[in-house]
Structure 1
Amino acid sequence: MTSALQAAIAGLGLGLSLIVAIGAQNAFVLRQGIRREHVLPVVLVCALSDAVLIIAGVSGIGFVVERFPVVLVVLRWAGAAFLLGYGLLAAGRALAPSGLAADRGGNGLSLRAAVLTVVGLTWLNPHVYLDTVLLLGSIANTHGEVERWWFAAGAVLGSILWFTALGYGARLLRGVFAKPVAWRILDVAIAVVMIALAIMLVLRP
């Protein structure tokens, strides 16, 4: 096995380990996938955003985040407010019969609203800069000058595979969500995740 292939596999593994977790972004992609609503644009925004962040980290941009921690503070509060707002909307859908009706096939999010939401969930999350830019970038740069880019390619591939599988694989659960109670449970879960993440961001020292 060549060093380039080893670096690519390492990047793929680390990339997947950082994104395959219950979080605001994944919860939104899952919901859009179940609804079959704007799945391709949402998946593209997630994958392209990760690619930009990974390349930035491997390029050494992470030092900017380290030297100007105020950036993360601003993102922390903005992200907390965004997550809290989205969590309250999900809670409202779970409590309101009209919200359930919309999720079962009525008017959902517009393309613009879906894209803006996933952009906010991605770029207003300070953890994405710590994990993707600093952590992944630092580990990538332990490889050689050429191999670090193979590492980045593996991480980008992992992101593409994950978000594609999550967005398009979610439709397999559509039968389960034919019942209103399933949507209620999903929105309750999304509300809990979003609000919990918002609180964690606020309480973080």
Structure 2
Amino acid sequence: MLSASLSGLGLGLSLIVAIGAQNLFVLRQGIRREHVLLVATICAVSDAVLIVAGVTGLGLVVAGLPWLVPVVRWAGAAFLLAYGLLAARRAWRPSGQALDAQAATERPAPARRAAVALTCLALTWLNPHVYLDTVFLLGSIAATHGDDRVWFAVGAVTASVVWFFALAFGARLLGRVLATPSAWRVLDGFVALVMIVLAVSLVWP
């Protein structure tokens, strides 16, 4: 039981602690101190759903639908490319954005909250790598633990929850670094580069 849980925890962290579209979005929201709890919760719950699906054998069902993977791949690439181009536009034509701690504590508009939630969901569920990591890889490895695969899933879900909440709420420590508009231009430029590279990698043979 303990061995399976630690195995799931270790593998879950090794897969999730990497620079990617989802993590960059969580980091950016955390730095801006905007809807931090909402974003971290969406990411953690989404990962938990996918991990449980993989452990319960949904990966085998999805494997029988060969047309689904290309559809998700192209949809994800299109979304990442669009998000990357928007970030590139912000870097090229900055709006003078800087970290304003006082403004960040103001209650955000419901429309903005909905937009953040939808973007977070899209970055999670339209990313084929998420399915490969959680549903297929974690699911197949969990099967090797036999009856303890449930504890393997518990460990993997724990890793996801700890990571996303630590990243989201820990990002505010970078507030002083990103207190100027020029620093945000650098961040947006980096986000644009990573998003566009990820989009191309999804469809490039």
Bin for the TM-score computed over the shorter chain: over 0.9
Q: Secondary structure at the match of 2:10?
A: helix
State which of 59, 69, 73 in structure 2 corresponds to 1:72: 69
| Cα offset, 1:151, TM superposition | 0.3
How big is the shift at 1:180? 1.4
Q: What is the TM-score when the length of structure 2 is the normalising length?
A: 0.93
Counterpart Cα distance in 2 of 1:97 and 1:142: 51
The reply to whether residue 113 of structure 1 matches residue 115 of structure 2 is yes
Q: Which residue of 1 aligns with 2:139?
A: 137
Aligned equivalent of 1:155: 156
TM-score norm. by structure 1 comes to 0.93
Q: Partner of 1:113: helix, strand, or coil? A: helix
1:51 Cα offset (Å): 0.3
Equivalent of 2:6 in 2, 5, 9: 9
Question: Which stretches of structure 1, 4 residues or more, deviate above 3 A after TM superposition?
Answer: 103-109
Give deviations 1:73-120, integer Å, cap 9, x for gaps.
Answer: 00001000000000000001111131x42x544789811111100100
- Matches of 1:104 and 1:58, distance apart in 2: 41
Q: Residue type of the partner of 1:58? A: V
Which of 40, 55, 61 is the aligned partner of 2:52?
55
**Contact 2:7–2:152 at 8 Å: present in 1 too?**
yes
How many percent identity over aligned positions? 64
Secondary structure of the equivalent of 1:37? Answer: coil
The root-mean-square deviation of aligned C-alpha atoms, in Å, is 1.5
Q: Aligned pair 1:168/2:155, yes or no? A: no
Q: How many residues align?
A: 198
1:52 Cα offset (Å):
0.2
1:85-124 counterparts in 2 under 5 A? 85-98=82-95, 100-101=96-97, 103-105=98-100, 110-124=112-126
SS in 1 for 2:146: coil
2:18 matched to 1:21? yes
